[in-house]
């Protein structure tokens, strides 16, 4: 798998000193480039942890699901909210499916 930045959605996290996706990447693979957009140094080093996908407030990072795991080129984006993450799966033909994951731990400690 790998991630791709949708540069038309990314705003570089505005005035933040460090973009949110850059802050959470365990492999230091993401950076803010000269056009103030997020870029990936080398997608081959990506661990597919999806931390950046979940952290981006603009749903600008997509994760590819390859043929090998049945993804057939589908992509995933995420919208994180309080106690839940909403995942959007977009198939190559443009059809979309939504999955909502509830963070039980968050909801129990509220
Ligand atoms: S978190 Fe999203 S909007 Fe912010 S720099 Fe990264 S990809 Fe762009
Ligand atoms: S999926 Fe994980 S390892 Fe890959 S770029 Fe995003 S945060 Fe970094």
Give ligand 1 pocket residues (Cβ under 6 A).
5, 10-13, 19-21, 38, 55-56, 58, 60-61
Q: Which residue puts its alpha carbon closest to atom 5 of ligand 1?
A: 12
The string over 45-73, giving b where at least 16 C-beta atoms fall within 10 Å of a residue's C-beta and e elsewhere, is ebeeebbbbbbbeebbbbbbbeeeeebee
Backbone torsion region of residue 62, taken as left when φ is above 0, otherwise alpha when ψ lies between -120 and 50, otherwise beta: beta
Q: Is the CB of 29 under 6 A from ligand 2?
A: yes
Of the options 3.40.50.720, 3.40.50.2000, 3.30.70.20, 3.40.50.300, the CATH number for the domain spanning 2-109: 3.30.70.20
Q: Is the CB of 30 under 6 A from ligand 2?
A: yes
Backbone angles phi, psi at 24, to 5 degrees: -95, -10
Q: Domain residue spans in the chain?
A: 2-109
The DSSP 8-state label assigned to residue 18 in this structure reads S
User: pLDDT digit string (tens) for 42-97?
Assistant: 989 999 999 999 999 999 999 998 776 666 789 999 999 989 999 999 998 999 99
Whether this model's pTM surpasses 0.85: yes
């Amino acid at each position: 798998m790998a991630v791709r930045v949708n540069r038309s959605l990314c705003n570089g996290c505005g005035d933040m000193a460090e973009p949110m996706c850059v802050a959470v990447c365990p492999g230091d693979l993401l950076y803010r480039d000269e056009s103030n957009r997020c870029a990936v140094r080398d997608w081959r080093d990506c661990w597919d942890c999806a931390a950046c996908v979940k952290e981006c407030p603009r749903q600008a990072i997509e994760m590819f699901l390859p043929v090998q795991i049945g993804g057939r080129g589908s992509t995933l984006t995420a919208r994180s909210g309080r106690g839940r993450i909403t995942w959007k799966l977009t198939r190559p033909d443009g059809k979309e499916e939504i999955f909502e994951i509830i963070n039980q731990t968050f909801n129990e400690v509220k």
